[in-house]
């Protein structure tokens, strides 16, 4: 119950899943992908405790028919990050959902991009990763280079699933991103200049995703029929 979850810090992040499970069918719960941030579930004094919290969440999610979760370190640096967690993982695959990890192709600095690739290889080498979630960004050239790199990795890990984020551009969203950029999200001045330009770049990103078998993920909230129609149009879906 929610009450028992509140009494167990290791399971606290699962409270939202219980709320969803009360409203959704088993089939619908299989399509839910919780994001688990080690930043917000971290015991800085005891990495083993942080690992136990994550493994307890995995078991709870599996019991609610969740098939996949996304594990992220969260902003900032910490010794027990997503890579350390994957290396330390002891929970058998049959007792947890599949695990996805984040990958950012858009670091402007080449050395940072190479570090990101090296970390991704290490994560895949743990044998615990089933999916890669690409960060949002606007540099299509860097994205295509990263997708070529991921295609090489899929030659070794053919079952690896790829997801890629995009925004549904709007004047309000662009203004918000100019005023308060998201940490780790690299959007060019050109992208932020207008809805029309942002939509054009988004189409190029989606074309790159389609070429490399990446499933697009819409990061923007869709609250009205008009926004739903705009989202379907941006994603190239029929009305």
Longest dimension (CA), the chain: 53
Cβ-Cβ contacts under 8 Å for 220 (sequence gap 6 or more) = 167, 168, 170, 173, 227, 231
pTM of the model: 0.88
Mean pLDDT of 118-126: 97
Find, among 110, 108, 47, 102, the residue nearest to 74 by Cα.
Answer: 102
Q: Decide if pLDDT at 92 tops 90.
A: yes
Contact call for residues 110 and 149 (beta carbons, < 8 A):
no
Find, among 5, 7, 101, 93, the residue nearest to 55 by Cα.
Answer: 93
Mean pLDDT of 102-126: 97
Mind listing the pLDDT tens digit for each residue in 133-164? 999 999 999 999 999 999 999 999 999 999 99
Give pLDDT, residue 215: 93
How far apart, in whole angstroms, are the C-alpha atoms of residue 89 and residue 93? 10
Give pLDDT, residue 201: 95
Please work out, in degrees rounded to the nearest 5, the angle formed at the alpha carbon of residue 137 by the alpha carbons of 133 and 143. 75
Mind listing the pLDDT tens digit for each residue in 6-59? 334 444 577 888 888 999 999 999 998 999 999 888 877 889 999 999 999 999
Mind listing the pLDDT tens digit for each residue in 182-224? 888 999 999 999 999 999 999 999 999 999 999 998 888 888 8
Q: Decide if pLDDT at 3 tops 70.
A: no
């Amino acid at each position: 119950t929610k009450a028992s979850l509140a009494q167990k810090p290791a399971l606290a992040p699962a409270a939202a899943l219980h709320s969803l499970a009360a409203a959704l069918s088993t089939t619908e719960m299989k399509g839910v992908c919780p994001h688990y941030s080690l930043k917000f579930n971290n015991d800085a004094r005891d990495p083993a405790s942080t690992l136990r919290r994550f493994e307890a969440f995995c078991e709870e999610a599996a019991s609610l028919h969740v098939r996949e979760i996304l594990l992220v370190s969260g902003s900032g640096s910490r010794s027990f990050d997503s890579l350390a967690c994957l290396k330390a993982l002891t929970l058998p695959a049959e007792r947890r959902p599949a695990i996805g990890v984040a990958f950012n192709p858009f670091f402007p600095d080449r050395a940072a991009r190479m570090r990101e690739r090296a970390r991704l290889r290490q994560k895949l080498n743990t044998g615990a990763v089933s999916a890669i979630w690409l960060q949002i960004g606007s540099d299509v050239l860097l994205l295509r280079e990263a997708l070529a790199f991921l295609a090489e990795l899929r030659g070794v890990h053919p079952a690896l699933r790829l997801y890629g984020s995009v925004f549904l551009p709007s004047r309000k969203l662009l203004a918000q991103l100019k005023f308060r950029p998201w940490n780790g999200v690299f959007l060019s001045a050109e992208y932020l200049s207008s809805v029309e330009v942002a939509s054009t770049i988004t189409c190029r990103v989606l074309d790159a995703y389609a070429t490399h078998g990446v499933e697009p993920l819409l990061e923007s909230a869709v609250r009205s029929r008009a926004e739903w129609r705009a989202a379907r149009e941006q994603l190239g879906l029929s009305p």
